[in-house]
Structure 1
Amino acid sequence: MIDFSSITKTTYHQSESKLGALSFAEKLIYWTIILTPLWWLLGAQTIVYPVVSVLLLFAGLNLDKLIKKSLPICNWTWLAMTLVALWTNILGLEQIGFYTVKTSATLFTLFKGYFMIFACMTVPFWHSIRVKVITRAVSWMAVSFIVALTIQLLILVAIGPHEPFLPPIARLIPGEKVSMMVKFAIIQPFFGIPLPRTDLYTADPPILGVSALLCCFICWGESNKRLRNFGLAGSLLALIISQSRLAWACFPLVFVIIACFRSGLARQGSLWLASFTSLFCAVLGLALQDVIKAPLATFNSARADSSKDREYVVNATMEAWRESPWVGWGIMDRTVTWGNGAFELPLGTFSSYAQVLYLHGLVGFVFFAIALISTVCSFWEPSLRGNRNCQKAFACLIALYILCQATNLTWMAIYIWFFFLWLGSILADIQQQRRKVMTWEQLSL
């Protein structure tokens, strides 16, 4: 006897795993994400991603769409942050005379930072870009992590550490060149144990940790089971080899936040944990900072020198901000040295929050905070209603905001541009569903 139910289920899963016909915008985004290894080897990442997103933004821009398909508040806040950053950049450049190299590098950083975030979150509202198309492309990119990491580890084992090289296209792009170099896996001590570490398609291993964490939760929504498993495996492998301690800590946090949306038991568990911690501190007469001091010391000891260097640069950045607290310095034109001049980094290198204060002052920081808060709040209500994509987006944004404490958002935005596209496509999908509900309600009346 034929089991028609199993045939129906198989057909349904096959249809779900197929993307169907892609729009031009979907094709462009799909292949741009999948060809990430190619852009990396050519040194074109910092120009391809913002150009693709901005071209699609202007291609879909017209007054009718802007009026009828109103954008969420969070999109406008990112545009406002872009304009405030541009204003403070101009103030900073005016002090040094707008010489060509510094001006082009500063404006290009703004173009591939805040403005690209605005473009990526807005494009799905003006073009037909489905969430599952971005999910499929990111899953394939995560699979490429496995291939690239395998090759790098084989090179490391066979011939030892390989010297990085600057790709041809990267030579033509304004700005510093270190972040554009193609680097290979090296051996670095972690808790005193020499282990392989790499930054793969990114500029720095911590950025790889952020990218891998976000990829993992995007791949989780892939409908093709085999591709989903490979994508998750590639994301987890990249997360591990990045040796990003903060990304490792944020990984279980994302699961906890998602569980709190989906399970009443998880919400109760978090309350019981907070109550138990308070009781534990009260009984032993300890402050909360004393309880977390030991784990934090262990966390920092994994790479003690790196933690100290970051703290030193951030403290120097905050001291410089206090000299111009309202509008900041506008440009990253000052450096800090330590170790008898052996090490030198621009102020604002670490921590998005310290960098925003240093570059754009309190005025810029207020707009930056509004952009962050409005973006995560956009996913709050749908998450409570059970929208699984919104729950993952909300949790990933909380993790990203924590990770921004250790890495500049404007520096890593170029490497996680797909995440902002994913956020925009989810919000666009929610807006479309609301319009359908309103239309049905009007018809029923």
Structure 2
Amino acid sequence: MDTQTHTPQNSDEKLVWYSISFTYLFWLLGAVYIVAPVIGWVLLLKMLRRYTFNHAPYQIPPAVKTWCIAMFIMLVALIIAHIDYQLGTPKLIKSTIGWAKGWALLAVFPLIGALDIRPEIIYRACCQVCKHTLILLPLFVLAWLVRLPETLYVSPTSIIGGPGPEFFSVSLYEIDPGSGLPRWRLFTPWAPALGMLGNLFSIFALQEKSLKYKLYGLAGALIMILISQSRLAIACYLFIMVYFIFWRYHKQPALYLIASPIVLVAGLFGTHVLEKLESTILAIKAARAGSTRVRGELAHIAIERWSNEAIWWGHGIVERGPHLVEYMPIGSHHTWYGLLFVKGAIGATALAIAMLFSAMSLIRHCASHPLSRVALAVLIMLFLYTFGENLEILAYLFWPGLLIIGIAFKTQLTPSQSDNAS
């Protein structure tokens, strides 16, 4: 194995490498929420300095420009909504800082993909996190068995402000109030977010060249998905596996020979299959009926208030929901409903256009650019999670995926490098 391939070769790669591979150390310090915005903006400032003073020849792909415009529109919507509802200057400043730590990262990390950062570094660092998860898992299970406190402490770093104390807490386990069973969130703010990271790490582990680290990555990522007990995470994982199986064998005639009778049988028994799928979906929802009910009510409230109060620019800030939804923020658990409520139709349209334009660009290059297939998998995963999470709040966790998307767009401008990019 060429160890140099997986050793950071410059200051940019070192920042990315240590930021990912030391995830559990940052978790103990309560600093995971802080690292991503700091790394993103620091790298962006370094990029701007090199471009200004060293005349570095950075090229910004059209898709990345689209993300930059879309996230700037988010900021404009935020400002206009604050003015419309007379929320005051202090709240505007606080919301702008929140934008810089959230939505802005969806443009910042694809933008710094133009830097000299190799995807192999990101893959290996994420596999390291999976390895650490496998090592630490017995301790987390033991903590539940001996009934240690669910949360050890909330880090003093919480004084910088954030969405909530769970973003700075060190949690050993938690008990699902619906089932009474344990579930784990590890270094994420809640269990479904851990499932999301498990899917992202699965995508990266499949690209790892070392068999040892590939196994670490796949095993650790699957463990994250399972202990999160997230229904969306399991569905997304199955989709990702099918996706990469297709790309691995899409040029093999055997794939289509096998698929043809399957499609024929599915056509003959399609109605029966759909009924079974529907009953399965209902059974899954019934397994956590409380969560399903809260999500449905949150969606209903968000749509109702958006359509009646703030169609174009939204309300500007999140609001606490009523007792009916256990006081969850209105628009949480769903990116699109959250966007409509907070930033209106303008904000939701901006995100939709950026995602659609990026998907079209990546699909066009999937056949010739292996890294575009990886980036498209990340984008599809993010799209699936828009229906179960708020991307803005979790951008500090899935930023390695955004960086891979940016690197993939860069390789489209330099075809000669694409063969070594995956």
- Using the size of structure 2 for normalisation, the TM-score is 0.89
Instruction: Provide the aligned length of Structure 1 versus Structure 2.
Output: 413
Give the direction of change, closer, same or farther, for the CA distance of 1:433–1:214 in structure 2 (3 Å limit): same
Work out the CA distance in 2 between the residues paired with 1:253 and 1:268: 21
Contact 2:77 2:316 in 1 (8 A): yes
Q: Which residue of 2 aligns with 1:371?
A: 354
After TM superposition, list the pairs within 5 Å mapping 1:113-192 onto structure 2: 113-125=102-114, 127-188=115-176
Provide, for residues 213-241 of structure 1, a one-character-per-residue CA deviation record: whole Å limited to 9, x for no partner: 11012022222221221122111111110
Give the direction of change, closer, same or farther, for the CA distance of 1:155–1:174 in structure 2 (3 Å limit): closer
Q: Which residue of 2 aligns with 1:384?
A: 367
Provide, for residues 12-35 of structure 1, a one-character-per-residue CA deviation record: whole Å limited to 9, x for no partner: xx2267435610100111011111
Q: Which residue of 1 aligns with 2:10?
A: 23
Work out the CA distance in 2 between the residues paired with 1:319 and 1:247: 28
Provide, for residues 54-107 of structure 1, a one-character-per-residue CA deviation record: whole Å limited to 9, x for no partner: 111111122599995332222112211221111121122224545466334422
Q: Which residue of 1 aligns with 2:379?
A: 397
Post-superposition offset of 1:299: 1.5
Post-superposition offset of 1:392: 2.9
Give the direction of change, closer, same or farther, for the CA distance of 1:436–1:199 in structure 2 (3 Å limit): closer
Choose the corresponding residue for 1:318, options 303, 320, 337.
303
Q: Which residue of 2 aligns with 1:94?
A: 83
Contact 1:185 1:199 in 2 (8 A): yes
Larger Rg computed on CA atoms: 1
Percentage of identical aligned residues: 24
Choose the corresponding residue for 1:409, options 371, 382, 391.
391
The residue type equivalent to 1:177 in the other structure is P
Work out the CA distance in 2 between the residues paired with 1:346 and 1:160: 29
Contact 1:25 1:129 in 2 (8 A): yes
Provide, for residues 247-285 of structure 1, a one-character-per-residue CA deviation record: whole Å limited to 9, x for no partner: 101111112222333334546766765554444356x7x
Work out the CA distance in 2 between the residues paired with 1:415 and 1:372: 19
Work out the CA distance in 1 between the residues paired with 2:371 and 2:125: 16
Q: Which residue of 2 aligns with 1:361?
A: 344
The residue type equivalent to 1:210 in the other structure is M
Post-superposition offset of 1:319: 0.7
Q: Which residue of 2 aligns with 1:59?
A: 46
Q: Which residue of 2 aligns with 1:4?
A: none
The residue type equivalent to 1:412 in the other structure is L
1:80 is aligned to 2:63: no
Q: Which residue of 1 aligns with 2:330?
A: 347
Provide, for residues 134-166 of structure 1, a one-character-per-residue CA deviation record: whole Å limited to 9, x for no partner: 111111111121233322111111234433521
Provide, for residues 183-242 of structure 1, a one-character-per-residue CA deviation record: whole Å limited to 9, x for no partner: 22133378x5x5420111111111100101110120222222212211221111111100
Work out the CA distance in 1 between the residues paired with 2:276 and 2:256: 23
Work out the CA distance in 2 between the residues paired with 1:203 and 1:247: 15
Give the direction of change, closer, same or farther, for the CA distance of 1:104–1:278 in structure 2 (3 Å limit): farther
Work out the CA distance in 1 between the residues paired with 2:219 and 2:82: 45
Work out the CA distance in 2 between the residues paired with 1:51 and 1:361: 28
Q: Which residue of 2 aligns with 1:69?
A: 58
- Using the size of structure 1 for normalisation, the TM-score is 0.84
Unaligned stretches of 5+ in structure 2? none
Q: Which residue of 1 aligns with 2:212?
A: 226
1:37 is aligned to 2:27: no
Work out the CA distance in 2 between the residues paired with 1:379 and 1:281: 32
Post-superposition offset of 1:244: 0.8
Work out the CA distance in 1 between the residues paired with 2:32 and 2:365: 33
Q: Which residue of 1 aligns with 2:202?
A: 216
Contact 2:412 2:418 in 1 (8 A): no
- CA RMSD, Structure 1 to Structure 2 (Å): 2.7
Work out the CA distance in 2 between the residues paired with 1:268 and 1:102: 60
Post-superposition offset of 1:122: 1.4
Choose the corresponding residue for 2:244, options 255, 258, 266.
258
